[in-house]
Amino acid sequence: MDPAQGIRKRKRTELKYGVLFAAPVLLGYLVFVLGPLAFTFALGFTEYSMVGSPKFVGFDNFVRLFTGKEPLFYDAVISTLYYVLVSVPLGIAFSFVMAMLLNSKIKGRAFFRGLFYLPVIIPLAASSVIWLWMLQPDFGIVNYLLGLLHIPKYTWLSSDTSVIPTLIIFSLWLTGNTMVIFLAGLQNIPAHLYEAIEVDGGNALHKAWYITLPMSSSIIFFNTVIGFVNAFQTFVQPSVMTQGGPNNASYLIVYYLFKEGFQFTKFGTASAAAFLLFLVILLCTAVLFKFSNDLVYYEGKERGR
């Protein structure tokens, strides 16, 4: 047999078996990701209430959303942007600082690592209920402790001005995964780089600025992208803790489209809002990747390439 022909035959065989073994994953992605995405996009151009067949209405659902004919949509957009733009940077900074502390040589380090990761393994709905009880304005333990310190009680989830900041504080409770990823990245930084800083007379601040932050930039970028994606899709907290209140101040976008679809049976409007959310997340991710070339350091890769 011609050697070239044998190579081509072997490559075809490898391709056949590769596709065969990858078929379950590809099929699952097609059925559970691309399929629902395409169906949601198509449903956004219809009027559908689960009774009868979808009625094609063109861009009417999108026009209603943008022109304010769906009154809660802009409330949901504003609340979501407020929550995302504050909670993500704050969560990244908090988890990074905690990872740096837990990476240092402190007594009981393993215990504290497990303690800070523990909230992640608690079901989010259960955590939301616990925090709801703790933050009750009249009999919650948090305001009780504030009273012992002679600090005025805070409204927490009971005021439209404090509900989003309270949800942002609660989001810090859920940064265990981010912290662990940061911790893994910090442990991969070569020790000789810190030793070189010490030889040059640098202090802890120099180590953090010139070594820790640049060497962790790829991890910061990864956690930032994941943080934005997750924050835009926040649903359990407003659903369990506030039901969108008070005065629709915590009506986040995923909770909005859930209510539109499954309570008011306006699946066309809900699908249109869901597709707009997909576009916003896609745009934010693209912008982050656009600026990552100049801000993120990858070992062995030239800047800007």
> What integer pLDDT is reported at residue 42 of this predicted model?
93
SS3 for 249?
coil
- The fraction of the chain above a pLDDT of 90, given in percent, is 56
Q: How many Å apart are CA 292 and CA 206, to the nearest integer?
A: 23
* Packing angle, helices 176-187 and 109-121, rounded to 10: 140
Residue that wins the pLDDT comparison between 145 and 292: 145
Q: How many Å apart are CA 304 and CA 285, to the nearest integer?
A: 18
Half-sphere exposure of 151 (CA within 13 A, CB side): 8
Confidence label for 10 from pLDDT (cuts 50, 70 and 90):
confident
Helix or strand holding residue 279 (H, E): helix 267-295
Instruction: Flag whether pLDDT at 150 surpasses 70.
Output: yes
Confidence label for 8 from pLDDT (cuts 50, 70 and 90):
confident
DSSP class of residue 55 equals E
Q: How many Å apart are CA 136 and CA 118, to the nearest integer?
A: 23
Confidence label for 52 from pLDDT (cuts 50, 70 and 90):
confident
> What integer pLDDT is reported at residue 197 of this predicted model?
87
> What integer pLDDT is reported at residue 284 of this predicted model?
94
